[in-house]
Amino acid sequence: MKKSRIIKVFDTTLRDGEQAPGCSMHLNEKIEAAKQLEALGVDIIEAGFPISSKGDLESVRSIAGAVKNCSVAGLARATKIDIDAAAEALGGAANPRIHTFIATSDIHLEYKLKMSKEQVLERASEMVKYARNKCADVQFSAEDATRSNWEFLREVFEAVIKAGATTLNVPDTVGYTTPDEMYKLIKYLKKSVDGIDKVTIAVHCHNDLGLAVANTLAGIRAGAGQAECTVNGLGERAGNAALEEIVMGLKTREAYFKATTHINTQQLYRTSKLIYNLIGHTAPLNKPIIGTNAFLHEAGIHQHGVLSNKATYEIMTPESIGIVKGKMVMGKHSGKHAFVDRLKDLGYDNLTADEVEALFVKFKALCDKKKDITDRDIEALVSTKKSQLIGGNIYTLEDFEISSGKGKKAIAVITIKTDKGQLLKETCPGDGPVDAGYRAIDKITGLTPELEAYKIDATSDGKDSLGEVTVRLKIDGKSITGRGLSTDIIEASILAYINAINKK
């Protein structure tokens, strides 16, 4: 059998994904995500768009310094200042890549760029040359490629190959193409672009018609060697092609695609969870690969089949994406050894001794309130602790008392301790206990964050479940996620709010 081609995975969760509304991350959260992407085995991490803001430049710089086993890319329009900013941000990267782009479709040329085809051709070629003088690895993207004239696309690609581009990207920027059309376009480029065999062809698909993964796989089948994607399919509008779906599509149908990736698929579930945690979202139940229902078999006929032979209804196993076998329940008789083992089984093998100790204290405190501690409880303990570590503790909750009742105004009395040891107490009425608590905190901190999102989940069934609250606050124009965990949901709400403020 012919050997499978290795498809490079270019992850743009931290650029195309993070720029979507409600998906922003704190610098330290981006670094944590980048390290997990490295553990997952992606080939290239697109860490940001350095010219777009100081924060983006800093995060590309920090990720470039933190990640060593994969390339780190920075995005740049086809202008010198953008390319300079990307080169500066990537200065410390072990394997830097400048990713420069310009649109090639008639509609973008006329209404956005106000440039002629000749001007775009010249700019693309000049800027790739300029970038190549700063970096040996230069990716060029023809924005809106799938709505561009194919002959013009051919001319642009030929010019940028001559100028030194090492990867040519074919973005379906507005999610407009179809699998058949993408297949033909890649075949056309492979046949007609002079020098194409010296470079890697990439496909970058958006999901406006729900075809992003199908279009990506069609591009790969036609000969593309790089798939651009985001974890959980995050991205503007309907998002980008989902990394986990492309990777498992190739793994499950390797004989058909004759292609595979370097991804460690057992890290997929953990990566997906981490990214959702960082942005304060959860997967839809039926999301392919990583949704709660993705491996459940409810229908009797399916259950019967699966019991006789899993392959009757299961085309891949939960274990293959890193879902831990056999949920284990722990409790107050579980010692530190068992707790540490369980952390490892759940994939948390890179925690420091101090972090493990702090988590064990929390675990023991939880055992006093809750009889059975599930994997989901432990996962919530870890992600909340990590969120608190990112935020630091400028403010900590010292005490709270809230009264509320049917037809009565809620009143909150909140006491907060500052990192200087000062105790600050305020009393405030509100429209319900959470609102009253948040207003009292605003009085104490002098801040007036906008509550963009509030979400509460139970970590297990049963009345003694932990309440896991995630909030997203807008402070000084920045969206920040905070997390709080407690068997008391009002306390969890307050802790989440304080955690977000601490990340300001």
Query: Measured between alpha carbons, how far is 241 from 209 in angstroms, rounded to an integer?
Result: 11
Q: Which of 10, 101, 157, 339 binds ligand KIV (CB under 6 A)?
A: 101
Least distance in angstroms from the C-beta of 211 to ligand KIV: 14
| 204 near ligand KIV, rule: CB under 6 A | yes
143 binds, among ligand KIV, Zn ion, none (CB under 5 to 8 A by kind): ligand KIV
- CB closer to ligand KIV out of 218 and 480: 218
Is beta strand 478-486 parallel, antiparallel or unpaired with respect to 467-475? Answer: antiparallel
141 binds, among Zn ion, ligand KIV, none (CB under 5 to 8 A by kind): ligand KIV
Q: Which of 48, 171, 249, 322 binds ligand KIV (CB under 6 A)?
A: 171
- CB closer to ligand KIV out of 161 and 381: 161
# residues contacting ligand KIV (CB under 6 A): 9
Which of 107, 185, 179 has the alpha carbon at shortest distance from 150? Answer: 185
Q: Which of 11, 16, 137, 244 binds ligand KIV (CB under 6 A)?
A: 16
| 140 near ligand KIV, rule: CB under 6 A | no
Least distance in angstroms from the C-beta of 235 to Zn ion: 7
161 membership: H or E segment, kind and range: helix 150-163
| 143 near ligand KIV, rule: CB under 6 A | yes
Amino acid identity at 155: E
- CB closer to ligand KIV out of 161 and 428: 161
Query: Measured between alpha carbons, how far is 325 from 291 in angstroms, rounded to an integer?
Result: 16
Site for ligand KIV in 172-191 (CB under 6 A): 173
| 503 near ligand KIV, rule: CB under 6 A | no
CA distances (Å), origin 380, targets 228, 288, 338, 362, 460? 30, 23, 18, 11, 11
Q: Using CA of residue 249, residue 254, residue 256, residue 257, what is the dihedral sign?
A: positive
370 binds, among Zn ion, ligand KIV, none (CB under 5 to 8 A by kind): none
Burial bucket for residue 4 (CB in 10 Å: 0-12, 13-18, 19+): middle
Output helix, strand, coil percentages for the chain, rounded to the nearest 5: 45, 20, 30
CA distances (Å), origin 333, targets 278, 358, 367? 32, 18, 9
CA angle 51, 57, 61 (to 5 degrees): 140
| 74 near ligand KIV, rule: CB under 6 A | no
CB proximity list for 373: less than 8 A, separation 6 or greater = 329, 330, 331, 334, 363, 366, 367
Find the part of the chain contacting ligand KIV (CB under 6 A) among 168-176, 310-318, 324-332, 379-387: 168-176
Least distance in angstroms from the C-beta of 99 to Zn ion: 11
Least distance in angstroms from the C-beta of 156 to ligand KIV: 14
Least distance in angstroms from the C-beta of 171 to ligand KIV: 3
101 binds, among ligand KIV, Zn ion, none (CB under 5 to 8 A by kind): ligand KIV
Residue 426 three-state SS: strand
Least distance in angstroms from the C-beta of 207 to Zn ion: 10
Least distance in angstroms from the C-beta of 141 to Zn ion: 8
Q: What is the DSSP secondary-structure string of 75-140?
A: EEESSHHHHHHHHHHTTT-SSEEEEEEEE-SHHHIIIII---HHHHHHHHHHHHHHHHTT-S-EEE
Least distance in angstroms from the C-beta of 225 to ligand KIV: 16
# residues contacting Zn ion (CB under 5 A): 1
| 13 near ligand KIV, rule: CB under 6 A | no
Query: Measured between alpha carbons, how far is 18 from 34 in angstroms, rounded to an integer?
Result: 12
Print the binding letters for residues 14-43 with Zn ion: x by CB under 5 A, - otherwise: --x---------------------------
Least distance in angstroms from the C-beta of 176 to ligand KIV: 11
Look at the chain and count its residues: 504
- Structure letter (DSSP) for residue 21: T
- CB closer to ligand KIV out of 102 and 343: 102
Residue 15 three-state SS: helix
- CB closer to ligand KIV out of 169 and 481: 169
Least distance in angstroms from the C-beta of 431 to Zn ion: 41
Q: At what angle do helices 27-40 and 375-391 cross, to 10 degrees?
A: 130
| 17 near ligand KIV, rule: CB under 6 A | no
- Residues engaged in binding Zn ion (CB under 5 A): 16
Q: Which residues lie near ligand KIV (CB under 6 A)? A: 16, 101, 141, 143, 169, 171, 173, 204, 206
